[in-house]
Structures are given as structure tokens and as C-alpha cells.
């Protein structure tokens, strides 16, 4: 990897240049009165780089919506001329996502594995190839619920064009003095920022020591290693922990919907009033919702909340990993934060691991 150092001002200037060619998306601070702290960040559309808050803690929602929108029209159909004509709707304007944290970049990699390789999806591919991604490293844990350090998802291994590291030597209260170490992950990334700033041969910001210090700062931990976890969770399939936690669960689906790697969707057709045309829509679905597993004939093969909860945890900790080789949990902590019933994925995993581990002994 080819490294450079750029100053904050230079970076802002370059992001603005990017914004002249592409729609700009990045972390924006929003006041959240009554919340602690009274500020929350969201990935949003901005028109100027100065509107971005690159030193954000976490974004409430991941960047999933920009590659897999919550609702989209896949095609319109028309049969007014006597034949059936379907016109696909492709909404893939050139976009730059600037300021994605490592967990969210890992989330994007998983979506890529699903929609680009496993089940090629035209709409996803079109949007993804029109997306330029600038990652930014989080120098400290974003939130007490984050477990990315244990999932190995707080280090970037692709999924972006450029990766930025705020240089801790020059970070401080005065952001204008901030400097960023830059790593390039694609040719497009080099074209964008390759001639900015100066070459950085010592690359102090991204030294091994930097990552080790960062990893150690996380307080929420997985009790088993990611290598052991899939087998331990599988071994807990018949455990009572699912019923225990599901007793509090509303089956509201929030935990799925905020997850940067949950990719399930539902497809529905809608007809126009005159009956001659209509459209096919898809929207985010969630395996915790009561009707998720209803099949033709009305049978629901995951009728109980406990079955759905177990299914979700198995997907996150074992099954998707088996299928894609990537972890389906990137440790962002969003599901735990979103659950209004205080059901924690990490608690369930730790309990499952402990139970299975004990049984093993």
C-alpha cells in the first residue's frame, strides 16, 4: 500500500472536488435533544465537504441504504398495448461515500459477496459500481457496545477506494491542524488523492502498535474467539437461551433493519388504477418479523419468536460465515442499541459459547 499524509484543509478541498462529480454522502451531525450525548450522526447527502463530521463516533444507521435502498422500484410493467412490457428502473447515480468506519466497510464487503457474487443483483451492482468509497479509521471505540475488535472488523481489508487515518500526533482540539495518513485501495483512489500532500514512508499512524492499542481499548468483548464461535453457537441450537431472551422480544425487526449486513428483502407488485400497468417493488424485510417465514399455503415455519431469534443469531455467528467466508456480524453494536427490549446479540453469543463450552468440558 502506497501511503501519503494530507492535511485537513487539503482533504476538504479534494472532497469538494469529488462532490462536483458525484453525489456526496457522509457522516452529518444532528442535534438529538434529550439524548446522551445530545448529538447523533447519520450518513446523509451533503453538498459541501464542510458539512461532514469526519470525527464522528458512529452513525446511527449504516451505509446500507445507499447500495440497497429501504424501498425501490425494480421495474414498471405495462400491458396497455396488448403485450406485456417491463422496463427496469436503474437508479445508480455516481456517488461518493466519504467517511465510512471499518465496521461499515466490512458490512459493504459482505453485501458485495451476497449481491455481486452469490446472487448477482443488477440494481445492486449498478449502484455499487457507481459508488466511490472513502473509509476513515476510528482511533478509539465508537461506543461501549462495539465488538469489532473481537470480530476482526476494525481493520480494513478492502471494500473502499481510499482509507484515511487521522494521525494521532496531530489530532487535537484544533481540527485544522489535523493530518490524515492515506492508504490507497484502488486505482480510482490514487487518481483522486495520489498527488495530494506528501509521501509518508514511516506511516506511523497505521503501525502495528496503533492497531494493538486500539484493539485493547474496547471494553465489550466476545468470550470466544471468532474461530471457535461458529461451532459453539451451532452446538447451542437446542439450548434454552433462545426462549429466555425471546420472552422479552416484540418481533419488531429493529435489530435486523439497523444491521449493516442484514440484506433480506420482500418483493410486492402494485397495479395502477386502470389495471393496465404497475410496478414491482422491493423493500427491506427482517427475519425477526412474525410473517417473515410464511410460505404459500399460509404455513409459517418459524412461528415462535425464539425460533426467529435463534435463526438470526445463527445467521450472524455461523451460517453466513460458512457460506461467504466473511463474518456476518461486524460488531457495530447497532442491534443491541436498537433493541427497545434490551436484548443483546453479544450477551446471547457469550451465553451460547459458555454453555456449549461447559458441555464440552
Partner 1 sequence: MIDDLDVRCPIPDRGAAPILPVPVEGVQAPRPRIGIFSLTSCEGCSLTILEQEDELLSLLGAIDIVDFREAKSGADGEVDIAFVDGAVSSPHDVARVRQIRKNARILVAIGACACLGGVNTLKHAQSEHDYRQFVYGDRAPQFPTGDARPLSAVVRVDYELPGCPMVGAEFLRFVRCVLSGRPFRLPNDAVCVECKRRGTLCLYEKGETCLGPVTRGGCAAICPAYGARCEGCRGLLGNEQLRIFARNCLQLHGTPLAEILDRLRLFGVFQGETLPDSQPPDGPPT
Report the nearest approach of partner 1 to the CB of residue 93 (Å).
19
Does residue 219 belong to the site contacting ligand SF4 (CB under 6 A)? no
Q: Which of 9, 118, 187, 272 binds partner 1 (CB under 8 A)?
A: 272
Tell me whether strands 23-31 and 95-100 are parallel, antiparallel or unpaired: parallel
Of the candidates 268, 317, 314, the residue with the CA atom closest to the CA atom of residue 288: 314
Does residue 3 belong to the site contacting partner 1 (CB under 8 A)? no
209 binds, among ligand SF4, partner 1, none (CB under 5 to 8 A by kind): none
Q: Where are the alpha helices (DSSP H) in 22-134?
A: 102-112, 122-129
Rounded Cα distance between 12 and 8, Å, is: 6
Does residue 290 belong to the site contacting partner 1 (CB under 8 A)? yes
Does residue 253 belong to the site contacting ligand SF4 (CB under 6 A)? yes
Does residue 334 belong to the site contacting ligand SF4 (CB under 6 A)? yes
3 state SS of 184: strand
Of the candidates 141, 185, 150, the residue with the CA atom closest to the CA atom of residue 327: 150
C-beta neighbour count of 182 within 10 angstroms? 28
260 binds, among ligand SF4, partner 1, none (CB under 5 to 8 A by kind): ligand SF4
Q: Which of 252, 293, 294, 304 binds ligand SF4 (CB under 6 A)?
A: 252
Element (H, E) at 132: strand 131-136
C-beta neighbour count of 359 within 10 angstroms? 11
> Could you tell me how far CA 87 lies from the centroid of its own chain?
30
Tell me whether strands 162-166 and 131-136 are parallel, antiparallel or unpaired: parallel
Report the nearest approach of partner 1 to the CB of residue 104 (Å).
14
User: Residue 215 phi/psi, 5° resolution?
Assistant: -55, -40
Report the nearest approach of partner 1 to the CB of residue 250 (Å).
4
CA dihedral 235, 309, 339, 221 (to 10 degrees): 10
Q: Which of 28, 343, 349, 352 binds ligand SF4 (CB under 6 A)?
A: 343
Give the footprint of partner 1 on residues 332-351 (CB under 8 A).
338, 340-342
Does residue 45 belong to the site contacting partner 1 (CB under 8 A)? no
Report the nearest approach of ligand SF4 to the CB of residue 132 (Å).
23
Does residue 338 belong to the site contacting ligand SF4 (CB under 6 A)? yes
x-or-dash string of contact with partner 1, 53-92, rule CB under 8 A: -------xx---x----xx-------xx-x----------
Binding positions for ligand SF4, rule: CB under 6 A: 249-255, 258-261, 288, 316, 329-335, 338-341, 343, 345
Amino acid at each position: 500500500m502506497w501511503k501519503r499524509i494530507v492535511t485537513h484543509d487539503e482533504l476538504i478541498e479534494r472532497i469538494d472536488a469529488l462532490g462536483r462529480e458525484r453525489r456526496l454522502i457522509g457522516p452529518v451531525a444532528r442535534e438529538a435533544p434529550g439524548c446522551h450525548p445530545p448529538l447523533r450522526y447519520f450518513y446523509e447527502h451533503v453538498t459541501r465537504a464542510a458539512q461532514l463530521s469526519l470525527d464522528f463516533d458512529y452513525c446511527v444507521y449504516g451505509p446500507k441504504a445507499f447500495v440497497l435502498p429501504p424501498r425501490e422500484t425494480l421495474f414498471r410493467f405495462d400491458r396497455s398495448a396488448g403485450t406485456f412490457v417491463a422496463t427496469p428502473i436503474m437508479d445508480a447515480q455516481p456517488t461518493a461515500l466519504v467517511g465510512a468506519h471499518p465496521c461499515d466497510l466490512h458490512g459493504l464487503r459482505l453485501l458485495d459477496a451476497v449481491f455481486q457474487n452469490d446472487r448477482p443483483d443488477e440494481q445492486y451492482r449498478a449502484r455499487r459500481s457507481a459508488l466511490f468509497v472513502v473509509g476513515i479509521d476510528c482511533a478509539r471505540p465508537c461506543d461501549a457496545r462495539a465488538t469489532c475488535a473481537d470480530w476482526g472488523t476494525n481493520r480494513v481489508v478492502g471494500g473502499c477506494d481510499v482509507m484515511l487515518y487521522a494521525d494521532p500526533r496531530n489530532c487535537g482540539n484544533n481540527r485544522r491542524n489535523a493530518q490524515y495518513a492515506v492508504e490507497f485501495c484502488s486505482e480510482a483512489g490514487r487518481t483522486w488523492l495520489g498527488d495530494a500532500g506528501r509521501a509518508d514512508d514511516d506511516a506511523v499512524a497505521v503501525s502495528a502498535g496503533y492497531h494493538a492499542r486500539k484493539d485493547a481499548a474496547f471494553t465489550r468483548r466476545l468470550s470466544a474467539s471468532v474461530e471457535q464461535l461458529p461451532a459453539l453457537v451451532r452446538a447451542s441450537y437446542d439450548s434454552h437461551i433462545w426462549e429466555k431472551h425471546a420472552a422479552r422480544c416484540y418481533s419488531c425487526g429493529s435489530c435486523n433493519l439497523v444491521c449493516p449486513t442484514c440484506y433480506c428483502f420482500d418483493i410486492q407488485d402494485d397495479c395502477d388504477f386502470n389495471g393496465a400497468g404497475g410496478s414491482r417493488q422491493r423493500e427491506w424485510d427482517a427475519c425477526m418479523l412474525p410473517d417473515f417465514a410464511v410460505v404459500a399455503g399460509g404455513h409459517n415455519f418459524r412461528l415462535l419468536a425464539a425460533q426467529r431469534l435463534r435463526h438470526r443469531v445463527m445467521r450472524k455467528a455461523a451460517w453466513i460465515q460458512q457460506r461467504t467466508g466473511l463474518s456476518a456480524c461486524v460488531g457495530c453494536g447497532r442491534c443491541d442499541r436498537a433493541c427497545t427490549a434490551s436484548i443483546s446479540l453479544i450477551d446471547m453469543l457469550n451465553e451460547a459459547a459458555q454453555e456449549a463450552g461447559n458441555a464440552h468440558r
